[in-house]
Amino acid sequence: MKYIRLMLLSLILITLTSCRLLQEITDSRLESGLCGQELYYGDFPEFKSLRQISVYVRNHMNYVESDSIAGPKEAFERAYGDCAEYTLIVSNIAYIQLGLELGAACVFVDLNDRVTPRLIGTGDSFNHAILIDKNMNLYSAYTGIDITEYYEVAYYYPHNKLFDL
């Protein structure tokens, strides 16, 4: 009986650690920066894929780390931003041109470039933003490539919270 309990406990632990723990977050600092953005209908060329949008944004903008989050229009017009701005701009253009509803997944990337779930609330809870769709597939805002099989994410904001539609 003890052996069965131990096996059951081990199975539960393995299941819990391997499951994708996704939940919406309500961190006021993030919410004030990421959420409630206005869609930016800039003079963009026509795109046929997320990858084309990502390449265009990457070629237009310089990556500069920031402590604050600018909206898509401001970041695109000033031509620089960090992962949060890249995520917002790519999500914005993808919605306008392709009808894709992409949210923002907040993740912690360690030195080995692995995404690790962390709890919101401490200063180092997250350090990177990537795109996430309704089916919880993950995409790099920088390349437009599906990175779902490589990364796990703990927290996200869906598209309908990022933008005032």
15-62 pLDDT per residue, tens? 333 333 334 444 455 667 788 999 999 999 999 999 999 999 999 999
131, burial (CB in 10 Å: exposed 0-12, middle 13-18, buried 19+) = buried
Query: Is the Cβ–Cβ distance between 161 and 35 less than 8 Å?
Result: yes
Residue range 1-7: average pLDDT? Answer: 51
Q: Report residue 129's pLDDT band, with 50, 70 and 90 as the boundaries.
A: confident
DSSP state letters, 142-156 = TT--B-TTT----EE
The Cβ of residue 114 has, within 10 Å, a number of other Cβ atoms equal to: 12
Q: In the chain, count H helices and then E strands.
A: 6, 8
pLDDT at 154: 62
Specify the DSSP class assigned to residue 124.
T
Helix (H) or strand (E) holding 103: strand 103-109
Question: How far apart (Å, rounded) are the C-alpha atoms in residues 5 and 26?
Answer: 37
Largest CA distance in the chain: 68
Dump pLDDT digits (tens) for 103-126. Answer: 998 877 765 655 554 444 444 456
Domains of the chain from N-terminus onward: 22-162 (3.10.620)
pLDDT tens digit string along 78-97? 999 999 999 999 999 999 99
One-letter amino acid identity for 48? K
In this predicted structure, what is the pLDDT of residue 152? 63
Contact 69, 90 (CB under 8 A): no
Pair type for strands 23-24 and 155-157: parallel
